[in-house]
């Protein structure tokens, strides 16, 4: 019941009553508005948290130089400081026919070395439901992607039937097409079969993984040269955070099967004469090419914890950009590198002084290495207290540059 002022006239009492009613209505509306604002803020916070949710790596597998068949063997190779570089195996091509220390020599390669993996000619085609005829035309990179992805699935304790029809994205990083070059060069047009296209196309490599594993999430190949696998990883994380995927497989492959690309890099003076990546060294004079195949299964960290998955590592954040204009097409841009590092830290919600170690690109070139270490110093160095060091390294000194 509304109370009016004692002694007020009927008109005044009615006005006071109307004022109180309006006040009550406004108060109720204000309470509703505050409730809506709180709900919107909650939804916005959830969306922001979702966009920056950590991503768990729940399964890993690899094939790398030095006889590495598992991530555990890879760690042993690194911790023991093993040099995995060797001369080009005769099964690939005759390096004696192509070697010339003069990088300007036409049709020659100025390095005898590389990082190579074994068993690239071995494949259990029937296990993956592939006929011998199709397997013969299948790029060994695709064969190894199938094997490594299956091993990563096993490492994640994922049963094959769990992937069938699942919202799992597949992201494959590939740049080289040596097997297609070899077939066209040595077999001739008359030997091209119906499987030539699907056996060599990069789009078919990721499509084959989705087809074999039964995944129905996003599926595409990534080729951004040396950054391909990290760009694939970044896109997979974005897909998981947006809810586009519930799980993701990221895989990458690079094999050196013909001399052609090595000749190109030799003529461009990119290869180290001694076949070693001398990262951040005054003697740096180029890099050594290497092979590698790897695969990881990813999940949102909250989902991985909920499902009791093995968590091998956690990705807090990543970022992409491009050099844009620089001193040349293949010359890095230090300012752009600083920008992408800062953005990655922001996305990961980290401060520069919270980072203890950086795995650098560090190929061992006299041009690129100083630009990279300068960018790292500009971002991380200025934020550190005296005596607070940042360790920087590159596995390319052990296994070469897998490109």
Q: Burial letters for 275-288: b for 16+ Cβ neighbours within 10 Å, e otherwise?
A: bbbbbbeeebbbbb
Cβ proximity of 286 and 365 under 8 Å = yes
Q: Cα separation of 314 and 317, whole Å?
A: 9
Catalytic residue status for 269: no
For the chain, state the CA radius of gyration.
29
Question: What's the CA angle centered on 371, arms 370 and 376, to 5 degrees?
Answer: 95
Q: Which of 226, 234, 237, 269 is catalytic?
A: 226
Q: Which of 215, 219, 361, 389 is catalytic?
A: 361
Catalytic residue status for 401: yes
Q: Cα separation of 98 and 111, whole Å?
A: 9
Q: Which of 113, 202, 234, 401 is catalytic?
A: 401
Residue for token pair 């990290």: 230
Backbone angles phi, psi at 58, to 5 degrees: -105, -10
User: Distance of CA 365 to CAs 2, 291, 371, 382, 396, Å?
Assistant: 85, 19, 10, 25, 12
- Residue count of the chain, please give it: 403
Q: Cα separation of 305 and 308, whole Å?
A: 5
Q: Cα separation of 285 and 100, whole Å?
A: 16
Single out the residue of 227, 225, 289, 223 nearest to residue 256, CA to CA.
289
Active site residue ranges: 226, 361, 401
């Amino acid at each position: 019941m509304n109370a009016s002022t004692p002694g007020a006239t009927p008109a005044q009492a009615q006005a006071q009553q109307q004022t109180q009613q309006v006040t009550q209505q406004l108060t109720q509306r204000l309470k509703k508005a505050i409730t809506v604002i709180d709900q919107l803020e909650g939804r916005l916070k959830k969306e922001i948290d979702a966009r920056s949710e950590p991503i768990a790596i729940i399964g890993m597998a690899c094939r790398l130089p030095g006889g590495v068949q598992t991530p555990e063997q890879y760690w042993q190779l690194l911790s023991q400081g093993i040099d995995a570089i060797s001369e080009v195996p005769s099964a690939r091509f005759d390096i004696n026919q192509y070697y010339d220390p003069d990088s300007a020599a036409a049709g020659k390669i100025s390095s005898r070395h590389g990082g190579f993996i074994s068993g690239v000619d071995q494949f259990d085609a029937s296990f993956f439901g592939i006929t011998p005829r199709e397997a013969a035309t299948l790029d060994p990179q695709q064969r190894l992607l199938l094997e490594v992805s299956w091993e990563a699935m096993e490492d994640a304790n994922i049963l094959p039937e769990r992937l069938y029809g699942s919202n799992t994205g597949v992201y494959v990083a590939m740049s080289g097409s040596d097997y297609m070059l070899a077939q066209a060069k040595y077999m001739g047009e008359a030997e091209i079969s119906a499987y030539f296209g699907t056996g060599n196309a990069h789009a078919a490599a990721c499509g084959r993984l989705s087809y074999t594993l039964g995944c129905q999430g996003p599926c595409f190949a990534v080729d951004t040269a040396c950054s391909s696998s990290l760009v694939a990883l970044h896109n997979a994380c974005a897909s998981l955070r947006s809810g586009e995927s519930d799980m993701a497989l990221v895989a990458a492959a690079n094999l050196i099967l013909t001399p052609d690309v090595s000749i190109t890099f030799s003529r461009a003076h990119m290869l180290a004469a001694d076949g070693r990546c001398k990262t951040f060294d005054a003697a740096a004079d180029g890099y050594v090419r290497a092979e590698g195949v790897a695969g990881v299964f990813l999940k949102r960290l909250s989902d991985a914890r909920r499902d009791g998955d093995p968590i091998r590592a956690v990705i807090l954040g990543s970022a992409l950009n491009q050099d844009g204009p620089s001193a040349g097409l293949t010359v890095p841009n230090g300012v752009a590198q600083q920008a992408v590092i800062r953005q990655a830290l922001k996305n990961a919600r980290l401060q520069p002084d919270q980072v203890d170690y950086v795995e650098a690109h560090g190929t061992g070139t006299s041009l690129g290495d100083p630009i990279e270490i300068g960018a790292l110093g500009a971002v991380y160095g200025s934020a550190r207290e005296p005596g607070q060091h940042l360790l920087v390294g590159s596995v390319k000194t052990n296994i070469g540059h897998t490109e």
